[in-house]
Amino acid sequence: MTDLNALKAANAARWAKAKLTRNFTGVAKRLVAPEAKARYQIVSVKTGVPWPFIAVAHERESSQDWAGSLAQGDPWNKISTHVPAGRGPFKSWEDAAVDALVNCAPRAALNKDWSTGGTLTMLEQYNGLGYANKGRPSPYIWSGTNQYVSGKYVRDGVYDPNVVDQQLGCAGLLLAMMSLDPSISFDGDHAPAPPAPAPTVPPAKPSAPSVTNPAPGSLGAFIASILSAIFGKKK
């Protein structure tokens, strides 16, 4: 069984030394774009999972295809056939994403450690711990950085040490996103701040007393009540 605490420490140490070796900017801009960020934040509020985590998982699983489920990239409006299979159909991408984070292993919504090591290790668990069991950095996390050179599972259970993963890894995506969006940070056990609640609208002030709207208890109110009593009786 993988020692997750040791993996968190290893990922935190790699993060501290990580430098980008490929161009992540174009993809990072897509992930932090206001319209995309707003959708990720909706899911974040419902699950407690930081929106940048959701964004990079979306990119890795379906190249940010809004028709693809966060869980495995299958169409969210149909029953999924890839692992996790049998999920859906859902009413929206957001509903499918909530299901993926709450009900599908490793259930990121239950995670309480959103430090860099904890975040990267949770992302690695989504892809599998085969690399950690070999003591190798996962390309799912580190591809495109100086923390990864080569090595990839080319199919289930088959590891080739000479193959280089061409996809952009989660750590590099997060680093590039942080350079574009200063609100993204990982501080100990605290996740990036959720979106601020909508400002409350103060109740409307009552209109100032007038001839047609006299103040309660005033002479005008007394006269108005008498007139109402007199004219209200007329048919």
Over 60: is that where the pLDDT of 202 sits? no
The model carries a pTM of 0.79
- Report the distance separating Cα 106 and Cα 128, nearest Å: 10
Q: How many CB atoms lie within 10 A of CB 158?
A: 8
Q: What is the CA radius of gyration of the chain?
A: 27
Over 50: is that where the pLDDT of 196 sits? no
Instruction: Give Cβ neighbours of residue 77 (< 8 Å, ≥ 6 apart).
Output: 67, 88, 89, 90
- Report the distance separating Cα 32 and Cα 92, nearest Å: 20
- Report the distance separating Cα 60 and Cα 78, nearest Å: 20
Structure tokens at 107: 């259930």
20: nearest Cα among 145, 141, 167, 139: 145
User: In this predicted model, what pLDDT tens digit does every residue of 63-102 receive, in sequence order?
Assistant: 999 999 999 999 999 999 999 999 999 999 999 999 999 9
User: In this predicted model, what pLDDT tens digit does every residue of 16-55 receive, in sequence order?
Assistant: 999 999 999 999 999 999 999 999 999 999 999 999 999 9
- Report the distance separating Cα 182 and Cα 159, nearest Å: 38
Structure tokens at 184: 């993204």
Domain boundaries, the chain: 4-180, 206-235
Report cis status (omega within 30 of 0) of the bond before 194: no
CA distances (Å), origin 77, targets 70, 90, 92: 12, 5, 7
User: In this predicted model, what pLDDT tens digit does every residue of 126-182 receive, in sequence order?
Assistant: 999 999 999 999 999 999 999 999 999 999 889 999 999 999 999 999 999 999 999
